[in-house]
């Protein structure tokens, strides 16, 4: 049941959602602003330096591999985790689609399963709550969609909830843009299931009220090869799961990152 003092609501049929609760930090849904996608940052300067150095040192006695290593490439540069998930207990992955953006409920399941696999493979979590436990809760509670995320995590025996809310989705074989023929975006938050008194302490991360935005695009070539909306959705979910998981563990950077 919803936390005392909060309003809950259900998503009805159709594309127009009903009014979400005012407090987004312990509830499961909120109204979102239009997603603004930022272009990927280019790195022309580093590439130009590399090309110039290789050209100047073509006869200096060093192999290209030795030169690249001397310049700092391949020396184990790493990106730090933006947040460390608990290793004291299970983490529940909850994917919500309040605005009904996704083509199928299965896309939510695929995204959650792939994200769990990425987190476990990179030792970012001790344990992920198995999907069958979440499905049991869904079957047992008719008001499941109205129950706040923190409470869902508590009912599932989790210590934290990794909450993803779908913000944008396009997975059609009918290509509209060449560079971003298909796309998917989510906002990401981490909730503290163990906090039951102070609502302001339920959200652990990030500081931004709207959550951490993560988006992925597929270009026209990939979309054409995938052919079907189902295949496109799975590719988007796999790519998004990898990017979301990287928020929570240290990983090696590419030489041009």
pLDDT digits 0-9 by tens, 50-93: 555 555 555 555 555 555 555 555 556 889 999 999 999 999 99
Average pLDDT across the chain, whole number: 80
| pLDDT value for 160 | 98
Instruction: Look at 242 and 61; give whichever has higher pLDDT.
Output: 242
Given a cut of 60, whether residue 94 has pLDDT beyond it is yes
Query: Among 21-30, 141-150, 193-202, where is mean pLDDT lowest?
Result: 21-30
Percent of the chain with pLDDT over 70: 68
Q: Would you place residue 14 in the very low, low, confident or very high pLDDT band (cuts 50, 70, 90)? A: very low
Structural element, H or E, at residue 230: helix 229-245
Given a cut of 70, whether residue 16 has pLDDT beyond it is no
So where are the chain's domains?
44-75, 79-252
Interval 36-49 mean pLDDT: 52
Query: Helix 229-245 and helix 105-121: axis angle, to 10°?
Result: 40
Given a cut of 60, whether residue 15 has pLDDT beyond it is no
Return the SS3 of 41.
Answer: coil
What is the pTM for the complete model shown? 0.71
DSSP state of 248: G
Domain 79-252, CATH: 3.40.50.10610
Interval 191-214 mean pLDDT: 94
Query: Among 24-28, 83-87, 193-197, where is mean pLDDT lowest?
Result: 24-28
Given a cut of 80, whether residue 29 has pLDDT beyond it is no
Given a cut of 60, whether residue 10 has pLDDT beyond it is no
Given a cut of 60, whether residue 25 has pLDDT beyond it is no
Burial grade of 199 (CB within 10 A; 0-12, 13-18, 19 or more): middle
| pLDDT value for 50 | 55
Read off the tokens for 256. Answer: 């041009």
CA distance 122 to 257: 20
CB 185 within 8 A of CB 150: no
Interval 193-197 mean pLDDT: 93
């Amino acid at each position: 049941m919803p936390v005392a003092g909060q309003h809950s609501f259900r998503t009805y049929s159709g594309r127009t959602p009903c009014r979400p609760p005012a407090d987004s930090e312990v509830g499961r849904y909120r109204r979102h602003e239009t997603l603004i996608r930022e272009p990927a940052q280019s790195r022309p300067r580093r590439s130009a330096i590399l090309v110039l150095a290789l050209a100047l040192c073509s006869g200096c006695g060093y192999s290209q591999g030795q030169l690249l290593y001397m310049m700092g490439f391949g020396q184990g540069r790493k990106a730090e985790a933006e947040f460390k998930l608990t290793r004291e207990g299970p983490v529940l992955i909850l994917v919500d689609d309040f605005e009904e953006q996704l083509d199928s409920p299965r896309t939510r399941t695929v995204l959650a399963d792939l994200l769990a696999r990425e987190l476990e493979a990179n030792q970012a979590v001790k344990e992920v709550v198995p999907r069958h436990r979440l499905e049991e809760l869904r079957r047992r509670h008719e008001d499941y969609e109205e129950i706040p995320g923190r409470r869902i995590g508590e009912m599932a025996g989790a210590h934290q909830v990794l909450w993803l809310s779908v913000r944008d989705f396009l997975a059609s074989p009918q290509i509209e843009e060449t560079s971003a023929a298909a796309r998917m975006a989510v906002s990401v938050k981490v909730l503290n299931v163990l906090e039951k008194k102070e609502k302001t302490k339920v959200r652990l991360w990030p500081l931004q009220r709207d959550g951490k935005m993560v988006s992925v695009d597929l270009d026209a070539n990939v979309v054409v090869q995938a052919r079907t909306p189902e295949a496109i959705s799975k590719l988007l979910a796999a790519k998004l799961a990898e990017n979301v998981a990287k928020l929570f563990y240290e990983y090696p950077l590419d030489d041009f990152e």
